[in-house]
Amino acid sequence: NTIGLIQPCLFTVFPNAKICIGDNVGISGSTLRSTISITIGNNVMIGSGCLITDTDDHPLDARQRQEENFYKNTVSSPVVIYDDVFIGARSIILKGVTIGQGAVIGAGSIVTKDVAPHTIVAGNPAKEIKVISD
């Protein structure tokens, strides 16, 4: 990847969680962190430095973060990325998001909500820019 790899690929899978990756998927120096599940379809391209996570990783309540096993109070929800999706470099896909077939995520975007099929989104938070037509 000529944009530059800022890190190796890192997959963190908690006990009883899963990461399922389809055929012909390209991942450039990105992090996938699963406490429940991350599912990636076929022919997906994930740019350099992306983060895909199905969990908040820490509770929002400061008192809960002080507890010894604070992670038990985190919120998690599966991530699903359908076929033919392109995720631009340095994007972040957060818990509970579904990205529809053929969607494009602009570089540096933070995706907090579902993305419709064949739609371009970008920004922080990611918003619809355009529907891709045939």
Q: Other CB atoms closer than 10 Å to residue 10's CB: what's the count? A: 11
Active site residue 118: no
- pLDDT tens digits, one per residue of 69-108: 776 768 899 999 999 999 999 999 999 999 999 999 999 9
Average pLDDT for residues 8-17, to the nearest whole number? 80
From the list 58, 112, 116, 128, the catalytic residue is 58
Average pLDDT, the chain: 90
How would you classify the pairing of strands 119-123 and 126-131? antiparallel
> Peptide bond before 125: cis, by omega within 30 degrees of 0?
yes
